[in-house]
Each structure stands twice: as structure tokens, then as C-alpha cells.
Structure 1
Amino acid sequence: MFGLSQFHKGIALRLLAALLITVMSAAVHGAAKTVPVGQIMFWRSALAIVPIIAYLIYLGQFPHGLRTKRPGLHVTRSLFGAFSMVLSFVSLAYLPVANAQALAYLAPVLTLPLAALLLGERLTMAVIIAVGLGFAGVIALLWEALDLQGQGTLIGIAAGLGYAATMAFVRVHTKRMTESESSSAIAFYFAIVAALAGLVTLPFGWISLSAEAFGWLVLAGASGGIGHIVANEAVARAPVSALAPFDFTGMVWALGLDLVIFAQFPGALGLVGVACITGAALLVSFRGQRT
């Protein structure tokens, strides 16, 4: 990659991953204007399987890279992950991409106290401050939502909070799984379970897809699947703690996509909330670099 060191290649790949995941969120937001959440979930997950398999073939790990020693853990992780995905998509359906992404940043903040409770990790003052700052941001978003009548904003915020809480559990659970399971296998089985969960909603009213809606779904599946691969490649080249702060460039992309594509932008309190939550997540990330 133009003579860059492995470390700097890792940073470049992490920046690309942040962009791809933000594009996926924007595509889900665009599709959710007309497409039911279950239908979005099916297409997002089913289409993501293609790049995951292609990645395994590229690494020479297909199909043996999908072998698992603990299938029960995949079922638990995938079911919680699928529920978390539903909440994320509901949040994106009712909120601007930047607000929904800010709420998603609460996941790493909530992961740390949960890890202290379930894994016995130390709860430091930095974690306590980060949690407090994160929830101050949520209060700011809720306060702004009270002025937005009839837009389902409170539903979006509640779903975003639910997503952050369930994703915190998923992250702790996944950390345990990585002791015996590959990240590609975890991603593959999650995509299978999430696609099946989305398919179950077919009798409840899927729609005939317009060209625009199908385009959003293809973009969501492709960017989500490729984003996972690029994130894995970044981790292979640089320490996780060094890469973590670059995840938050996604907020810049989210604000830009909201403005350019959807003509949406948070109000003053919304921006305060976004800043507080992003600051809390950054504090958690820099704490990770020091420990």
C-alpha cells in the first residue's frame, strides 16, 4: 500500500472500515424509509455472506476455517447479535445516521462495567467518568427528542440504547469465544442466523422492492460484509488499542452523509449529545492504549 509500514497500513484500513460501516448504516437508514426491518435484516445478512466466504477463500481457509469447537456459543452469540441488529435498524429507521451512530458508541462504554461484572476486570475512574459522560450525552439526545413530535424519535433513541446494551453483552461474549473460535467463523455463523431470523418475518409483510430500495439493501450487505473483512485486516497489522480511536472518524462520515444525502443535521442539543458520547468512547479507547 504505497510503501507504508504495516502499522500505518493498519490505520489506513481501519479508516476505510469506519467509512464502510458508516455507509452501511446510511444504506439501512435509506432502505428503512420503505422496507420493513425484518426484510432489511435478511438482505443485509445474506449478502454479507458472499464477501466473508470470498475472504476465507482468499486466505486459503475455506471451508476448514468455518469449523467450530463450541457450536452452542455461536447460537447464543448469533441470537443476541440478531436481536441487537434489529434494535440498531429500528434506531436507524427513526434517527439521523449520526444520532444512531452516537448511541451505538455507548456499546464500548457499557462493555467495560459489564466486563468488570462478568469477567472480573478492574473498574477504573476513567471508566466511571466515561459512563457518566456517555449518559449525559443520552440525556441531551432525549431532551432534543422531546421537541420533535410525531417523528418516532423517542422510539429511535430507546432502540439505540437497547442496541448499545445488547451489543455490550455480545462483545463480552465474543471475547470469550475468540479463545477457541476464529473471527471469520463467528461472522459467518452470525450472518447465517441473522439472515434466517430476518426470513422468519416474511409472512408479516415484506414488500416488493423498488430499484432504489434494492440498491440500498445491496449497498448495506456489501459494505457491511467488506467492512468486517477490512477491519480484520487492520487488526492483523496494528494493535487493537492503537486502532480503536480511529473508529470514531465514522462520526464525521455520518454527519456528512446525513447532510449530503438525507438533508438532516442534529440540533444544538443533539450535537452536544453526539460530542459527549463520542468523547466517552474516545476516553475508553485511550484508556485501552495505556493498559
Structure 2
Amino acid sequence: MKSVWKSSILGMMAGGLAACGGGSDGAPASASSQKGEQAGVATPAPTPAPASTPTSSLATTEERLVLPDNTLYAPGDYFAYASPWCATYDPSLAVGSNIVDTISILRSTFPNDVVISAKVPDNYPTVSRCGVYGYNAITFGHYLTVNSAAKMQPMQVKDIRTLSMQFDMSLSGDGEFNILAESFLTGAAKDFGTKLEIGFYTHSTPRSASFARSGTPIGTYVDNAGRSWTVTKVDDFVMFLHGSGDLLTGMLDIKGAYTFLMNRGVLTGNEWFNGVSLGMEPMRGNGVAAIHTWSVTYG
């Protein structure tokens, strides 16, 4: 989505990520330790309810931690956060009522075995700032603000030797949503005041695919697996639209995509990589993304 639509995420996440132990001054509550520490935080029932365990995980009796909207889980380099940010701009949206998101995790295997659920209105967002209702994601490193629990260090694009993500997921639900992997490249490390959003649609709604194709053409990127991506730019958002249906299992060579953008003059190589996320953008109705495995290789 366009980064201007995400401006509210920064304010909501900053306190929780800075503390990684509890929200303050309106910051999200933290779920980085035991579930019992969420006392006083109402946990709306996800709709549809997530499976007790994603299908790829081993049988386990471990209780799942279910994060409601605006609740942070940040134990280290990876964190989870569900952001219904469109509610900031649309007074008709009531978080916990007509917009309900959850991220269900197993602490022992995180960021694997994650179930992201969303329930939003049956109509598309109606306010101009909202192309989608939110972004519910798991993240490696930093996303729009600093994750103080992360040990990973930002690096300039030109100095990155390897950057890829490996993933396996399945989708369900009768609504419409995107699956978007993205990062924000910045002019200085961890400085999100100036940023360029680089997004990869591995599952897109017809509406979002049309939006991506309406952008200024950059070219066709063919990745190291031979898959074609249509690459366009709208404002400060560079979009990679997968050219042949859903891509729900495999490896995404992000460094290769950055090199493509450098060769096309979109990037100089001096930009800073701070982290990358994988998540759901709900657009209408119900949706579930079961992320069986996800990992990032970086150095």
C-alpha cells in the first residue's frame, strides 16, 4: 500500500517497540512475555477462528498466544503486530467490532506456525487515505520504527551480500486480501523520516493488481527461479506484482530485486535496509493466512 496510508502505524508501534515490555502514552500493549501479562487487554474472538495449530506444525500441546489488534510481540529479531490503521482515518470503523484482526503464534516456533486472521466490513474501504483496512504482519528487523529487541543491524543496499526470505503459507476465507512482503529503504539507518517502500505482492486482489499496473512502469523483473514480476511505482511505493497467480511457497531473492532497481536507476545503492515484513492487507470480509514457515537470510 502507499506509505502515506501507513503513517498512523508509526505512532501506534513506536512506544511498544521502544519498550518491548509494555505500552505507554497510548502505545500498544506488549505481548513479548507470558499471556497473563495481557491483563486488562480485551482479546476479541478472531473471525474465522484460527486453527489450533497450522497444518505444517508438529502436534503440540503448547497454548497459542493470540494477539489482538495493536498488540506487540517482540522477543528478538522477529516481531508480530496487527495494525488496523484505517480506523485512524475512518470513524465508522470500531476496532474489536466491525474490524477484528488477530495474530496467533506459538512462542516455541515463532516466526513459524503463525496464523493471521482478519474480519473487516464486506465493502471496500471508503475513505481516501485507505486502500486497505490495515496490515497484519510478522517482521524481521525494523518496520517504520526501531525494534529495540532486534540484534540485526541495518546495512546499505550496495553492501548487502545476501537477502532473501523463505516461506510456506496457505490462505482461506471468503473475503479479499493481499499478501504483501515489503521493506522500507531509508536515507540513514533506522531513520524512517524519509523512506521508499518496496513491496512484493505474492497474492493480490484484482483491485490491488489494477492499482499496481496503473503505476509508472519500471520493467519486468525475472527472479532467480525464472518467475516474472511486473514492476511499477506510485509516489514512494515500488510494487513487484507476481505475474502468474499466487506465490505461497518458495524463496524470494530480495537482494536480486534491489539489484534490478539499481540497474534501472530507481535505487543508488546508498539506501539503508532496515528490515522486511510479511503480512496480510484485508480489503473486505474474512480472511486467514496460515504462515507455516518463514525465515529471512541476511548478511
TM-score range, shorter chain: under 0.3
Q: Which has the higher helix share?
A: 1
Structure 2 length-normalised TM: 0.26
Relative CO higher for 1 or 2, CA cutoff 8 Å, sep ≥ 6?
1
Q: Which has the higher strand share?
A: 2
